[in-house]
Amino acid sequence: MRHSANNHHHHHRSPPPPLITLTLLFFTTIHLTNAWRPWPNQKHNITNLHFDSNKKFEGSSEFVKLKYHMGPVLTENITVHIIWYGKWPSPQKRVIREFINSISTSDHRSPSVSGWWKTVQLYTDQTDSNVSKTVHLGREKNDRLMSHGKTLTRLSIQHVIKSAVSAKTKPLPVHPKGGLYLLLTSEDVYVQDFCQNVCGFHYFTYPSIVGYTLPYAWVGNSAKLCPGVCAYPFAVPEYIPGLKPLKSPNGDVGIDGMVSVIAHEIAEMASNPLVNAWYAGQDPSFPVEIADLCEGIYGTGGGGSYTGQMLNDGDGATYNMQGIRRRFLVQWVWNHVVNYCTGPNALD
């Protein structure tokens, strides 16, 4: 979404047919926050990537104008409620649950997931209160039969959340203060814009549909549709010859890829839950948020097409932080105090 640098280069994309432009305009009015991908997916725009990535170099802040827009951040205990949409095998659920449960464990095995969250905690509201250090896994709802279909739009996602909070049996609780709603779609579900630069996004529900204003995020399992886009570096795009995928720490490319996108969205929901708090850029309908600024950076030296320095376990799997028992690879987030991306595995 943010390739303002394109006109400096000779790779001009042909204009889209009018129909696409119309749909984009239509959906922009709904919203388009956080189109996110760990790896740029324009097949012919490699030069642009390097140019566009300059602002994301771990130590570079020249282009970044992250501002606080006076809205709330999540200062109260955060509870993440999950909607499992589609068929979810238990082992996959366990990896994701453990990641969320690891955010607030005090049992530090460095570098830790809770160490990663410390950067997110630096963000404050108007009263100087910080983002909460406590993130709990809340209730979970299964929608195995995909009650709203195998293809979801940004609008129908709101209806999925409505169904979950207003269900006759075991509805998800409504916490307007610290509740986050995470819609996770299985590998055979398609969501609007999935793979076209988007691996996940967050926004808030409309009271007219859901009855409440609740921050929510969607993240999809890209294993079947586009692992090279959304589960990089555990899968790689075919158009980059000679690039080898790395071995994932939990043995599931789609899920290990999802963990970093889930982390990205939770960090941004905590620091920008109603899309009026911490973001860069002039246009609130295209905010550049604290995890967008560090896309694809997992360690010291990261930036451009380099992930930065990561760790390897005994089996040769790549990770950069430890959870309660498992290991994870999670992108860094922007630290507005020092003006660059930071993470728990930084080398001093």
pLDDT tens digits, residue range 56-85? 345 455 567 899 999 999 999 999 999 999
- Cα distances from 191 to residues 55, 215, 265, in angstroms, run 29, 18, 16
The reported pLDDT for the residue numbered 18 is: 35
Answer whether 257's CB lies under 8 Å from 230's CB.
yes
pLDDT of residue 63: 62
pLDDT of residue 177: 85
pLDDT tens for 174-201 read 987 899 999 999 999 999 999 988 999 9
pLDDT at 2: 36
Cα-based torsion angle of the residue sequence 23, 26, 30, 33 in order, rounded to the nearest 10 degrees: 60
d(CA 170, CA 274) in angstroms, rounded, equals 26
Q: Is omega for the bond preceding 40 within 30 degrees of 0, making it cis?
A: no
Tokens of 186: 């299985």
Is 244 exposed, middle or buried (CB count within 10 Å of its CB: 0-12, 13-18, 19+)? exposed
Rounded Cα distance between 272 and 2, Å, is: 19
Amino acid identity at 78: I
pLDDT for position 239? 86
Element (H, E) at 342: strand 340-342
The identity of residue 104, as a single letter, is S
Q: What gap in Å lies between CA 222 and CA 185, rounded to an integer?
A: 9
The tokens for 44 are 């012919």
pLDDT at 226 (0 to 100): 97
Residues 6+ apart with CB under 8 A from 220: 184, 185, 187, 189, 191, 194, 199, 200, 230, 258
- pLDDT at site 159: 98
Q: What is the full DSSP assignment across 86-121?
A: S---HHHHHHHHHHHHHTT-----SSBHHHHHHHHT
pLDDT for the residue 127? 98
pLDDT of residue 181: 98
What pLDDT does residue 241 have? 85
CB 257 within 8 A of CB 227: yes
Low-confidence residues of the chain, pLDDT below 50?
A: 1-37, 39-57, 59
Nearest Cα to Cα of residue 165 among 82, 270, 93: 82
